[in-house]
Amino acid sequence: MPVTAIVSILHRVTGIILFIGLVFLFYAFDQSLSSQEGFDQVVEVLQNNFLAKFVVWGVVSALMYHFVAGVKHLFMDLGHFEELESGRIAAKANLVIAVVLILLAGVWIW
The pLDDT mean for the chain works out to 94
Instruction: Assess whether pLDDT exceeds 90 at residue 39.
Output: yes
User: Which structural domain range is residue 39 located in?
Assistant: 3-109
pLDDT confidence band for 1 (50 / 70 / 90)? confident
Domain count, the chain: 1
CB-based contacts of 25, cutoff 8 Å, min separation 6:
56, 59
Q: Which of 61, 59, 54, 55 is nearest to 99 (CA)?
A: 61
Q: What is the CATH number of the domain that holds 72?
A: 1.20.1300.10
Q: Does residue 11 have a known ligand-binding role? A: no
